[in-house]
Structure 1
Amino acid sequence: MKLSVIGCGYLGAVHAAAMASIGHSVVGIDVDADKIALLNSGRAPFFEPGLTELLSEALATGNLRFSTDFADAAAAEVHFVAVGTPQSKDGLGADLRYVNSAVDALLPHVAPGDVIVGKSTVPVGTAEGLAERITPTGAILAWNPEFLREGFAVEDTLRPDRLVYGVGDGAERAESVLDGVYHVALAADTPKIVTGYATAELVKVSANAFLATKISFINAMAEISEVTGADVTALADAIGMDARIGRRFLNAGVGFGGGCLPKDIRAFRARAEELGVGRSVAFLGEVDAINLRRRDRVVDLTTALLDGDVAGRKIAVLGIAFKPNSDDIRDSPALDIASRLAALGADVVATDPEAIENARRMEPDLTFGTVEEALTDADIVLLLTEWKDFTGIDPVWAASLVKTPLIIDGRNALPHTQWIDALWEYHGLGRR
């Protein structure tokens, strides 16, 4: 099939490459000429395991190309809209300018019977409004939310755990066309749910709201554990054995970040208020607050362990990305903590396998270096992103570099008994 993908950021670039890899003819379109040049050369503008290889293979087959010209979408019969929906600068709601401008630029190039497929995460009700603008062209709108996990996006696109189609007028054609797009996944018995626009829009934001709630719940238990002497990791293990609860996303630490969960739960709250049902998701305000308090906890604990003043003390920060296997620093707890400690006068040296360049552009006054440079003569070490590069560090080697063998495990990810045996003073979050 001939596909266009409008927006070649994280979502769009992965989707375009994955669809081309299974045999579709794909053109990816973006207004950023530098990004397009990079993608056409087979290089990703961000770090995602397996994406560079997928891009190179797809480009070599001739099934994939990238362009800045929306007219190049005219040959396609299916058009995926995969642009960002960041948090509005003047409120909690989602900024839909990029979605609206993408659709406006695409409409002159669509033909009757074409299917425009929204993949961006949008407030419920957005698709209905877009459909009113699209229908006069004879094209059909469907909504097909994405469920990508950064660090596993290629796998999640090629082998999704479910497919959701939100359809309206022209539902039969939209479903048939999407079945053709996802024929490989459907042949592998991937579950498919066909529903209306509103449900499809809610699937993604409600899933993110649930995951955020689960993470903040265990971090709330960490707050209680810290004042009672309980061990939140053992607590999570115990309650996670209940099949109704499950162990995943019950890891206490510095909390969630990135370009999805924080802004999505805030936009969900804002949209609910607009609909007059703000009380239904009012709890998400506390979910957000608990999450942000974990950053405060690390700053406060670091200050307390350094005798009440971090000024002039060297702090090694291991991890800057919001999660491992990513260079994404959007709303990163790690970068936020590092920046706040530096603002208090600490000599912060941060390191990360992939995110340093992105972090340097956002926080040019921070100091970045290698693991060894960060650890050398450090008064305290903070593990804030659980890269294997860091969780596998030899604590004896690390102790030989630092000034004081003192560590805060902000992800409860280290083999703590090994660090204690190596004579480190170890502090987990919510752990004895």
Structure 2
Amino acid sequence: MKTPLTEIRNICCIGAGYVGGPTMAVIADRCPKIQVNVVDLNESRIAAWNDSDLSNLPIYEPGLDKIVQRARGRNLYFSTEVEPSIANADMVFISVNTPTKTRGLGSGQASDLRWVEACARQVAKCAQGHTIVVEKSTLPVRTAETIQAILQASQGPQSNGEPRSFVVLSNPEFLAEGTAIKDLETPDRVLIGGEDSHAIESLASIYNKWVPSEKILRTNLWSSELSKLTANAFLAQRISSINSVAALCELTGADVKEVAKAIGSDTRIGSKFLNSGPGFGGSCFQKDILNLVYLSRYFGLPEVADYWQNVVTLNTWQQDRIARLVVKNLFGTVTGKRLALFGFAFKANTNDTREAPAIRIAKDLLDEGAQLAIYDPKVESLQIASDLKLPQITPPSLKAGPSKAELSGEGTWWPCSKVEEAVSGADAVLILTEWSQFRGLNWDELAQLMRKPAWVFDTRGIVNKEEVTSAGLKIWRVGDGAT
């Protein structure tokens, strides 16, 4: 029979996604004496985690492949064997998706917790002895009560007479995609919320293998859950704030980069998250803010709800504004025109497209009848098709004259394997993701492939304006009132 342990020997993580996979890989790497089992019902995802070719891992994060190579097969395992992994675990992490509800009570704002509840019920069914259950998914405040209620209903003697017991902890992740491994290996803080000090210290002892003690914060369950939502809301708020200033800069002749540097030099404000762009994306920011909006309304705080709702509203406005600017500058229409989109992931160094600004901008342009040539170094074409809800077409020949889609005004898209392929015959380039390779492009060469007059719309503010203009191209750069 398992008893409450100070040292955890066996961990099960339910969910092999962007949080569960990298987090468990780092824990296994830093804690070789702990067996870590990452389980998921998605067979293709598990197969990708077990692929001998590490370039085929389902998640792209710099440095992740090396960690998986060191730990996989030693004390890190990926499988679809959910029930036996739970039964053998001293600690179970719940790291499943919590998307925004699309229907029913709280639709469009509240989190859909069906997968979290399903996990709790599976743990209640399969766990043996004493089990510490850790919330790793981003969850609304007081979700732990639901998990506790399900688990407590299953406490008591097992069929073999041995007792079962559960403790629930909150351990939210604070990872930025693209730097997730760095964030895990040298975190700003590790937050553990709970009411059972023994369980809290059991989890803390794992992180203490590589995280300094002063960076491990202990709170109650509810503070931990709310801290995650609030952290993302504050970061997203800064992005919307600087983007609102960028729009003002463009109309007044100011430069948002200079403004950001000036205000970021104030130690009370700081310089991070003051880069203007096409708006925030990713799996958490919008979802967590909308969750905060829902909770505020639920608890009778409409003014608070309206405040946070406006952060999301301005983010959407920024993306629509960029699409309108493209149309306006291309003589008021993009119907039948070829536009090259550089980047589709929501940020550099990840293949994640969830809530990517490129999706809304691309859809707006497709609605206008644009022909989009899309290049991203890490995002697969199947993912782009899924996000745009539109199948790709075969790239139309530049020599064959206008295609049927161009003549009909129907918006279409196709993937490209390199930037030169994307810009051939294009009226404009839109830089939507800040991949490093887009910073050093040879605009003299690219300009020769484009149809004149041609534009560069730099939504990330990363290209050299003088190099673009000297190549004979027009440029719009976010927040630059001099363009």
User: TM-score normalized by structure 2?
Assistant: 0.85
SS where residue 26 of structure 1 aligns? strand
**Amino acid aligned to 1:411:** R
Q: CA deviation at 1:85?
A: 0.6
> 2-side partners of 1:131 and 1:148: how far apart?
26
Correspondence list, 1:84-163, <5 A: 84-90=97-103, 91=107, 92-136=109-153, 137=155, 138-163=165-190
> 1-side partners of 2:199 and 2:13: how far apart?
16
> 2-side partners of 1:133 and 1:69: how far apart?
18
For 1:362, the equivalent position in structure 2 comes to: 387
Which structure has the larger Rg over C-alpha atoms? 2
- Are 2:65 and 1:52 equivalent residues in the alignment? yes
- Are 2:448 and 1:400 equivalent residues in the alignment? yes
> Among 3, 24, 27, which residue is 1:19 paired with?
27
Is contact 2:294-2:305 (8 Å) kept? no
- Are 2:220 and 1:196 equivalent residues in the alignment? yes
For 2:420, the equivalent position in structure 1 comes to: 372
Residues 320 and 65 (structure 1), Cα distance of their counterparts in 2 relative to 1, 3 Å cut: closer
Q: CA deviation at 1:349?
A: 0.6
Is contact 1:16-1:64 (8 Å) kept? no
> 2-side partners of 1:183 and 1:193: how far apart?
12
> 2-side partners of 1:239 and 1:425: how far apart?
30
Larger displacement relative to structure 2 (94-103 or 128-137)? 128-137
Larger displacement relative to structure 2 (85-94 or 102-111)? 102-111
Larger displacement relative to structure 2 (319-328 or 64-73)? 64-73
Q: CA deviation at 1:317?
A: 0.7
- Are 2:253 and 1:253 equivalent residues in the alignment? no
RMSD (CA atoms): 1.6
Q: CA deviation at 1:166?
A: 0.6
**Amino acid aligned to 1:40:** N
Q: CA deviation at 1:34?
A: 1.9
Is contact 2:36-2:75 (8 Å) kept? no
For 2:291, the equivalent position in structure 1 comes to: 267
Is contact 1:318-1:350 (8 Å) kept? yes
Q: CA deviation at 1:189?
A: 4.5
Residues 130 and 278 (structure 1), Cα distance of their counterparts in 2 relative to 1, 3 Å cut: farther
Q: CA deviation at 1:385?
A: 0.6
SS where residue 229 of structure 2 aligns? helix
For 2:333, the equivalent position in structure 1 comes to: 309
> Among 230, 239, 249, which residue is 1:215 paired with?
239
**Amino acid aligned to 2:258:** A
Correspondence list, 1:222-301, <5 A: 222-301=246-325
**Amino acid aligned to 1:110:** A
For 2:395, the equivalent position in structure 1 comes to: none
User: TM-score normalized by structure 1?
Assistant: 0.95
Residues 65 and 288 (structure 1), Cα distance of their counterparts in 2 relative to 1, 3 Å cut: closer
> Among 199, 204, 217, which residue is 1:174 paired with?
199
> 1-side partners of 2:423 and 2:323: how far apart?
18
Q: CA deviation at 1:321?
A: 0.7
Percent of pairs with identical residues: 33
SS where residue 364 of structure 2 aligns? helix
**Amino acid aligned to 1:13:** G
Larger displacement relative to structure 2 (401-410 or 140-149)? 401-410
**Amino acid aligned to 2:469:** I
> Among 87, 93, 97, which residue is 1:74 paired with?
87
SS where residue 225 of structure 2 aligns? helix
**Amino acid aligned to 1:52:** D
In the alignment, structure 1 segments of 5+ residues that lack a partner are: none
Q: CA deviation at 1:275?
A: 1.8
**Amino acid aligned to 1:70:** E
> 2-side partners of 1:397 and 1:278: how far apart?
54
Is contact 2:278-2:459 (8 Å) kept? yes
SS where residue 241 of structure 2 aligns? helix
Number of residues of Structure 1 aligned to a counterpart in Structure 2: 429
> Among 31, 46, 50, which residue is 2:41 paired with?
31
**Amino acid aligned to 2:38:** G
SS where residue 373 of structure 2 aligns? strand
Q: CA deviation at 1:336?
A: 2.0
Is contact 2:320-2:360 (8 Å) kept? no
SS where residue 265 of structure 1 aligns? helix
Q: Which structure shows the bigger proportion of residues in helix conformation?
A: 1
> 1-side partners of 2:18 and 2:191: how far apart?
20
